[in-house]
Homo-oligomer: A and B are copies of this chain.
């Protein structure tokens, strides 16, 4: 595990706590930047419920700011993309000359954002196909085994990304190293665009609700195919069979509430721009009426106050 060096985790929602927690449980030197969870995690540690068993991490290295953490070798970024602008203040204290930045964020434009500001040679990316909910401070519920794809940004995978993959693989994560992070990102978007979008736009529904309703399922398929058209035009030769696979495998997720739905219901910002907005902008000139409509509706829906807000 020495190969990872000092690791920082920025953005300690479900994704950050889960992967950071697994690295720490595997023996890595992991430092968590926390906000609302800080006191709870300092006191009670980190709990990961997964596959019927409960993993406990005590004595978590938890901090309220990155100055206290100091320079690291690797920074896991799992912040909501709606908070990306905060990275300009958060990241600098963590950066040494060779610090690598691994973004596990949803949607499009995150690697580009990091590359523009801190140099593309630092940037790695990961795509999480995983059902995770942060159910309480320092408490993560891992609902579905899921998988993680890791890669370097704009170049073949290097030794660090392989070391991260090995460390998480040793903890039981189904992890793979991919040649093209861009294509992988689009493969994930093909799912997030219809399912995260419809989970809100169809009135607060689960994945199972979408699949059980013939017309919602058909709409999910059409949205997925519109998104695939954009990916193909961008040079990612994702075949139609992949859309079919995506839809098929979703059946196993059951009444899963997407992260976007949970964010919306809790009154948190929803990543509308990095998922649907960027896709629509990259799809200009293509016939993507449903995706455009979904983007328009989501922008409006998430900007209106909900009548009542469930409790975090």
Which residues from chain A sit less than 8 Å from chain B, CB to CB? Answer: 198, 201-205, 209, 213, 215-216, 218-219, 222, 289-290, 292-297, 299-304, 306-310
Contacts and interface: CB of A to CB of B under 8 A. Distances in A.
A289 B213 contact: no
A311 B186 CA distance: 45
Contacts of A307: 306-310
Nearest to A309: B307
Given A215-B299, A299-B215, A204 B293 contact: no
Contact of A201 (B290, B292, B297): B297
A310 B201 CA distance: 20
Nearest to A299: B215
A304 B204 contact: yes
B308 A202 contact: no
B308 A219 contact: no
A303 B294 CA distance: 19
A218 B296 CA distance: 9
A169 to B, nearest CB: 39
Contacts of A301: 202-203
Interface majority SS on A: helix, strand, loop or mixed?
helix
Contacts of A308: 307-308
Contact of A296 (B215, B289, B295, B306): B215
Contacts of A290: 289-290, 293
Contact of A297 (B209, B297, B310): B297
Nearest to A205: B300
Contacts of A222: 289
Contacts of A205: 300, 304
Given A289-B289, A290-B293, A304 B219 contact: no
Interface centre among A202, A292, A293, A310 (most CB of B within 10 A): A293
Contacts of A306: 307
10 contacts: A198-B297, A202-B301, A202-B304, A203-B303, A215-B295, A216-B300, A290-B290, A307-B307, A307-B309, A307-B310
B310 A202 contact: no
A296 B293 CA distance: 13
A310 B292 CA distance: 31
A224 to B, nearest CB: 14
A202 B300 contact: yes
A193 B305 CA distance: 24
Contacts of A294: 293
A308 B308 CA distance: 6
Contacts of A300: 202-203, 205, 209, 213, 216
Contacts of A302: 203
Contacts of A303: 203
Given A297-B297, A307-B308, A307-B309, 4 more contacts: A202-B297, A202-B300, A204-B304, A289-B290
